Amino acid sequence: MKTLHPLALAAVLLASSVGAQQAPQGGEHSSHHPPGAAAAAPQSEGEVRKVDLEQGKVTLRHGPLANLDMPAMTMVFTAADPKLLEGLKQGDKVRFTADKKDGSYFVTAIEAAK
């Protein structure tokens, strides 16, 4: 795992400062997800290697993640919401959105690919 790309770090810092400034009108949830977030965290393709519902973690083999400056690999993600993992099983092809927060990698959305 390489160090965080400078641009990615800047984007995170920018997003959090923008969110803080807009807090009075944005409300708690939307302040964590400024409008630019979707473009910065595109859907990626992967395959489920392991699901741990109790810990809310999923091991994914994923392709390159441009938004996280990460090459293809197999790694563990924490689910932003453990419910996201319900119904997933080893070998499932999935489309997912990955994000990095506080030094950990999260999936913020995941669904079986048709």
Position among 9, 10, 73, 112 found at the interface with Cu ion (CB under 5 A) = 73
Residue 75 lies near Cu ion (rule: CB under 5 A) = yes
Position among 41, 48, 58, 70 found at the interface with Cu ion (CB under 5 A) = 70
Residue 98 C-beta: closest distance to Cu ion, Å: 8
Q: Which among 18-26, 63-71, 88-96, 106-114 is the span making contact with Cu ion, rule CB under 5 A?
A: 63-71
**Separation CA 44–CA 94 (nearest Å):** 8
Residue 8 lies near Cu ion (rule: CB under 5 A) = no
For the stretch 86-90, contacts whose Cβ atoms lie closer than 8 Å and that sit 24 or more positions apart, written own/partner, are 86/53, 87/112, 88/48, 88/51, 88/58, 88/112, 89/48, 89/51, 90/48, 90/49, 90/50, 90/51
- Closer by beta carbon to Cu ion, 38 or else 73: 73
Per CB under 5 A, contacts with Cu ion among 22-61 are: none
- Closer by beta carbon to Cu ion, 33 or else 61: 61
**How far is CA 44 from each of CA 22, 28, 34, 82, rounded to the nearest angstrom?**
29, 27, 20, 19
Residue 16 C-beta: closest distance to Cu ion, Å: 22
Residue 66 lies near Cu ion (rule: CB under 5 A) = no
